[in-house]
A and B are shown apart, each in its own frame.
Chain A
Amino acid sequence: QVQLVESGGGVVQPGRSVRLSCVASGFTFSDYGIHWVRQAPGKGLEWVAVIWFDGSNKYYSDSVKGRFTISRDDSKNTLYLQMSSLRAEDTAVYYCARDFRGGYYFLDYWGQGTLVTVSS
C-alpha cells in the first residue's frame, strides 16, 4: 500500500534552516510528482511546492519562493524540503502528498505530517 512518512520537524529558531524528508513506499517513486502542503495550527491547507516525477520542474508558492527548495532522491525513494530563513509564519504541519501523475494533478495520497515550530 502507498505510504508517505515525513520527518525532520521540530523547534527551529527564526532565521535558521531545517530539512524535511518524506520517505515513500508502495509505489514506483520515480513515476510520480510529489507535493509539500502545510497547515498552520488551527488554519487551512496551504500548497507549498511540487517537484515533477523526473525532477524537470519545480514550482513554489510565493510565500516560500527563494527560501525553500524541493528536491528528490529516487534511489532512496525520498523527497526533501530544504527550508531556510525561517519565519514565525512558517510554523505548521508539513505534509508530503503524492501527485496522481507527474506533478500537475491532484493529490491522491498524503503522509501524516511533521510539525515545524519556528520560535526563539
Chain B
Amino acid sequence: EIVLTQSPGTLSLSPGERVTLSCRASQSFTSSHLAWYQQRPGQSPRLLIYGASTRATGIPDRFSGSGSGTDFTLTISRLEPEDFAVYYCQQYGTSPYTFGQGTKLEIK
C-alpha cells in the first residue's frame, strides 16, 4: 500500500497570502496519478487537481499543482476566505487508492 504523508498538518494564514502544501508518497506510482481535493466544513470533498497538475473544471487558476515521482505540491497563490478548508491528496496509480491524512488551512 502506498502511504501518502501530507505536511504540515495545520497552517494558520491570512487571506491574500500564498501557501504551498506538500504530499509525499512512500513509493513512486503510475506517472503522476495524483489528485487533490478540497473539503469545506460540513461539505463533501471537491476535486481540485488531477494528473498532479491539471485543474478540474471550474477551479480558479489561483490553484496549481506540481510534482512527480514521490513529491507533489498544491499551491494557492492568493488565499480567498472560501479557501480555508482541509486539503487531501490521493494517488490513483495503484490499488488501494490511498489518501493523505489532510492539511487544514485555518484563518490566522
Name A residues whose Cβ lies closer than 8 Å to a Cβ of B: 35, 37, 44-47, 50, 59-62, 95, 97, 100, 104-113
Contact = CB atoms under 8 A, between A and B. Distances in A.
B47 interface: yes
Contacts of B37: 45, 107
B45 A47 contact: no
Interface string B18-50: 000000000000000101010100001111001
Interface residues on B, range: 20 to 34
B47 A108 contact: yes
B50 A110 contact: no
A35 B90 CA distance: 13
Interface in B71-108: 86, 88, 90, 92, 95-102
Contact of A62 (B1, B92, B102): B1
A112 B47 CA distance: 14
Interface string B49-79: 0100000100000000000000000000000
A106 B88 contact: no
Contacts of A110: 44-46
Given A44-B99, A47-B90, A50-B97, A107 B44 contact: no
Nearest to B96: A61
A60 B99 contact: no
Contacts of A59: 95-97
Given A104-B92, A106-B50, A111-B44, A47 B99 contact: yes
B92 A112 contact: no
B10 to A, nearest CB: 13
Nearest to B93: A104
B35 A107 contact: yes
Nearest to B100: A44
Contacts of B90: 45, 47, 106-107
Contacts of B1: 62
A109 B90 CA distance: 15
A29 B29 CA distance: 28
Contact of A107 (B33, B39, B47, B102): B47
